[in-house]
Structure 1
């Protein structure tokens, strides 16, 4: 019994130490960031004041855990805000979330090309963001131009930041396959796959308003559909009620 109590105390100290380590280096939310969030992040703008405070805390916790770096320029406040918002939005309704496979977000000024060693001089560079592997393991690569574009008011639905963080959420179970075990409980996996395969078929037949890239594979569909869900939820609810309800359950969004 003594050994059992000792073991439990040890576990308690380890957990407490982990929580304390996560919290003690969190910086205070800069007051001027609120107006930037109101201007650029409609998800934040639409939250009640108390939830905006919680969003701020989640942002600062994320920024204390993940290193932000850039290539050829210095990150400004808005860059940091948009990266942190992209990370927080998909998991905002989870009590606590830790991106365990992410240590660094590396930001390029513009799109890049993996085949040329992420060169910035290739006129055909097309990558807006990616979850890194190999020498970029545990890193996310983002185009600054694409990141900012994702949060601007526009007709098309495309948010690179949210897209890449949804890939990371998908990766939490070890594989990016469009079926994130942290989001989708086992009884819902088959209905989920049936739904996305039907939606992918519609995309590839040009009979859907979901972005074409979502027809690539299940993983890309999840990321693209999530962009739509968070950027234009009312429109998705109207045009894709079945998909909307499934994503609502996945991301634990409360009833309106």
Structure 2
């Protein structure tokens, strides 16, 4: 019964998303109204934000407002709280914070589940193999992202593990901006750097698979996952990443620091 209800809810959300046109805000960042209480919430929960200057924090919040105005966030089987939406918006802004302008044109809706889920998108506690914390949808879920609330909060609560599921998924969306998720950040990296980048990626993946790297094992499964996993590390522990992987740090800086 829970399965049928879940599918019905998802189909309704998909229908509503496809019927609605994506609204892109044209309000200049400096004119965006930012709720004052956001500042303390973000200081407490988002280390990336805490490290910014006061002026940068204002820009960060303005970009969050734009994202929330453009994107529908829906909670499945629980009541959505403000911090849920703020953490999702922060996850979206972090990878593109240094870009003068960026809209996730390949995203209309973020569905947030209460727990980890399986390949059939089931999150019932009785369901086995619920190991997925986030994914970027394809097919009938095109332009959708699905996140686990537990994974979302874990990514921000643990400030030393180099992992952040939501940032990981938004990096996949950046990768997909050229039409395909393939681990080659064509819209982020100048053409002459793509071959050197891939050569370095294969070298780093070999180290992961030989257990001689501190980059998470999942990054060794494909070029696609390597970009997202390395990107998590880059944003979560930048100083450590620069010290451990200076060449890769320079490459990702060229991608994300515009």
Shared fold per TM-score greater than 0.5: yes
Indicate conservation of the 8 Å contact 1:68/1:104, yes or no: yes
| 2:25 equivalent to 1:22 | yes
The structure-2 alpha-carbon separation of the partners of 1:225 and 1:156, relative to structure 1 and needing over 3 Å to count, comes to: same
Indicate conservation of the 8 Å contact 1:111/1:125, yes or no: yes
The structure-2 alpha-carbon separation of the partners of 1:123 and 1:249, relative to structure 1 and needing over 3 Å to count, comes to: same
Match of 2:156 among 147, 151, 159: 151
The structure-2 alpha-carbon separation of the partners of 1:72 and 1:27, relative to structure 1 and needing over 3 Å to count, comes to: farther
The gaps in structure 1 that reach 5 residues or longer are 1-19
Where in structure 1 do 4 or more consecutive aligned residues deviate above 3 Å? none
Structure 2 partner of 1:13: none
Cα distance between partner residues in 1 of 2:54 and 2:145? 31
The gaps in structure 2 that reach 5 residues or longer are 1-22
Cα distance between partner residues in 1 of 2:72 and 2:148? 16
Structure 1 partner of 2:74: 69
RMSD of equivalent CA atoms:
1.6
Structure 2 partner of 1:120: 124
CA offset digits 1:180-207 (Å, max 9, x no partner): 2111111001100000000000000000
Matches within 5 A, 1:35-114: 35-114=40-119
Cα distance between partner residues in 2 of 1:34 and 1:160? 23
The structure-2 alpha-carbon separation of the partners of 1:32 and 1:223, relative to structure 1 and needing over 3 Å to count, comes to: same
Matches within 5 A, 1:123-134: 123-134=128-139
Secondary structure, in 3 states, of the residue corresponding to 2:111? strand
Q: Please report how far the alpha carbon of residue 156 of structure 1 lies from its aligned counterpart in structure 2 after TM superposition.
A: 2.1
Paired residue total: 232
Q: Please report how far the alpha carbon of residue 154 of structure 1 lies from its aligned counterpart in structure 2 after TM superposition.
A: 4.4
| 2:203 equivalent to 1:198 | yes
Secondary structure, in 3 states, of the residue corresponding to 2:173? helix
Secondary structure, in 3 states, of the residue corresponding to 2:26? helix
Q: Please report how far the alpha carbon of residue 170 of structure 1 lies from its aligned counterpart in structure 2 after TM superposition.
A: 0.1
TM-score (norm 2): 0.86
Structure 2 partner of 1:251: 256
Q: Please report how far the alpha carbon of residue 134 of structure 1 lies from its aligned counterpart in structure 2 after TM superposition.
A: 2.0
The structure-2 alpha-carbon separation of the partners of 1:21 and 1:243, relative to structure 1 and needing over 3 Å to count, comes to: closer
Larger-Rg structure: 1
